[in-house]
């Protein structure tokens, strides 16, 4: 039951070690003219690494993050780190924001600024991500994480709350709503057309009945095929051999940087701030959580613990929207549904104002 205040304080020796490792990176060669077709281009990553070493200000970032009240508690044997911001209205609805991969609580900083006057905000780090480390045992898939979130909200004294997330966070949020429907007012998730199609490649039944002769279905099937052939390598490795890739992620900052920067570059639709990218990469690096985050994907890939279906009001915001997402998700008539022409996998970072408006509209009708 113990909840302790937490403050980020990375030792200077770790900051110096990062700069030293970046300076001594053993860069590979590169074939001419291949661009992004075989992974992150050499010059792109060298320039980003140079800025990380001698331009990006970790101490300034650390100070900004520490402006948010942070705490840590142990649930089911696992340290859980979270932000907790109470708004001025004591009757405001508490809202849990859950990040996905490859992300962390820091993705939500811009969104928090748009929401902190409307909700009590709880922003946990998934087990094995950032400061929710170390992970001491196997089994932290969606269902177990959802049970931890329900327990966290009970410890904080909230009898009714909303849940929101994207990617892994969408799965966790849905599982919390299914598990703790007595206390969950509603569940809101986000997706985009690319994510929806890639999810359909491994989520059983999601793509059943698609007709190759139908224009919309053909686009979905083409995206699924492209993901399997060109975009699923990271997932295949982390779902099967997380320990092996962990040696790279834990020992080489250039390797950790490339592993995440590739996804930011490929999965965003709107411009992103490279300092925010480097904040997320730095948090992975300083906490050594690249490997435990990889293991989280392994746990879910080998688990049947997806949680129970949610029986509470549901909302969904689609970014980079087209007809494919509605076809895949087939929402019920009473689902709160909004579509945004632009945006990608990280809407809290790419389009925080639009996402905040959707969250206020959905949860406002439930308050």
Over residues 37-78, the pLDDT tens digits come to 999 999 999 999 999 999 999 999 999 999 999 999 999 999
Q: Quick one: average pLDDT of 342-350?
A: 98
Q: Quick one: average pLDDT of 343-363?
A: 98
Tell whether 13 is covered by a domain. no
Tell whether 2 is covered by a domain. no
The domain of 99 spans 40-364
Q: Report the catalytic residues.
A: 167, 298, 345
Number of domains in the chain: 1
Over residues 224-281, the pLDDT tens digits come to 999 999 999 999 999 999 999 999 999 999 999 999 999 999 999 999 999 999 999 9
Tell whether 10 is covered by a domain. no
pTM of the entire predicted model: 0.97
Provide the pLDDT for residue 360. 98
Tell whether 196 is covered by a domain. yes
Q: Quick one: average pLDDT of 173-200?
A: 97
Tell whether 194 is covered by a domain. yes
Over residues 131-173, the pLDDT tens digits come to 999 999 999 999 999 999 999 999 999 999 999 999 999 999 9
Q: Compute CA distances 159 → 81, 125, 151, 163, whole Å.
A: 21, 21, 11, 13
Tell whether 102 is covered by a domain. yes
Return the closest-CA partner of residue 2 out of 92, 83, 75.
75
Report whether 169 contacts 322 (CB < 8 A).
Answer: no
Tell whether 32 is covered by a domain. no
Tell whether 315 is covered by a domain. yes
Q: How far apart are CA 97 and CA 162, in angstroms?
A: 9
Report whether 94 contacts 119 (CB < 8 A).
Answer: yes
Provide the CATH number for the domain around residue 44. Answer: 3.40.50.1820
pLDDT above 80: residue 284: yes
If pLDDT is split at 50, 70 and 90, which confidence band does 309 have?
Answer: confident
Query: If you write DSSP's letter for every residue of 318-355 in order, what string do you get?
Result: EES--HHHHHHH---TTSEEEEESS--S-HHHH-HHHH
């Amino acid at each position: 039951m113990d909840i302790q205040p937490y403050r980020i304080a990375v030792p200077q020796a770790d900051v110096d070690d990062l700069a030293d490792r970046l300076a001594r990176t053993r860069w590979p060669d590169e074939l001419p003219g291949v661009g992004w077709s075989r992974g992150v281009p050499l010059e792109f990553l060298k320039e980003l690494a140079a800025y990380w070493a001698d331009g990006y200000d970790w101490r300034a970032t650390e100070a900004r993050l520490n402006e948010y009240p942070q705490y840590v508690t142990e649930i089911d044997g696992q340290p859980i780190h979270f932000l907790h911001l109470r708004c001025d209205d004591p009757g405001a609805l508490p809202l849990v924001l859950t990040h996905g991969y490859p992300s962390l609580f820091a993705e939500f900083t811009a969104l928090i600024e748009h929401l902190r006057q409307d909700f009590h905000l709880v922003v946990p780090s998934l087990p094995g991500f950032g400061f929710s480390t170390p992970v001491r045992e196997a089994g932290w898939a969606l269902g177990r994480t959802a049970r931890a979130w329900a327990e966290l909200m009970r410890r904080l004294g909230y009898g009714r709350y909303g849940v929101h997330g994207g990617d892994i966070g969408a799965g966790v949020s849905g599982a919390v709503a299914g598990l703790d429907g007595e206390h969950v007012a509603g569940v809101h998730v986000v997706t985009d057309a690319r994510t929806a199609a890639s999810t359909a490649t491994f989520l059983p039944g999601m793509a059943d009945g698609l007709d190759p002769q139908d224009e919309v279905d053909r686009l979905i099937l083409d995206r699924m095929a492209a993901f399997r052939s060109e975009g699923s390598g990271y997932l295949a490795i982390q779902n099967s051999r997380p320990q092996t890739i962990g040696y790279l992620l834990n020992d080489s900052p250039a390797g950790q940087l490339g592993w995440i920067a590739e996804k930011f570059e490929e999965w965003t639709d709107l411009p992103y701030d490279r300092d925010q990218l480097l904040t997320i990469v730095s948090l992975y690096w300083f906490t050594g959580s690249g490997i435990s985050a990889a293991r989280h994907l392994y746990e879910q890939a080998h688990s049947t613990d997806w949680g129970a279906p949610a029986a509470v009001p549901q909302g969904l915001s689609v970014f980079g929207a087209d007809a494919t997402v509605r076809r895949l998700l087939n929402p019920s008539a009473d689902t709160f549904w909004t579509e945004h022409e632009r945006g990608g996998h990280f809407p809290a970072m790419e389009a925080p104002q639009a996402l905040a408006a959707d969250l206020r509209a959905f949860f406002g009708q439930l308050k």
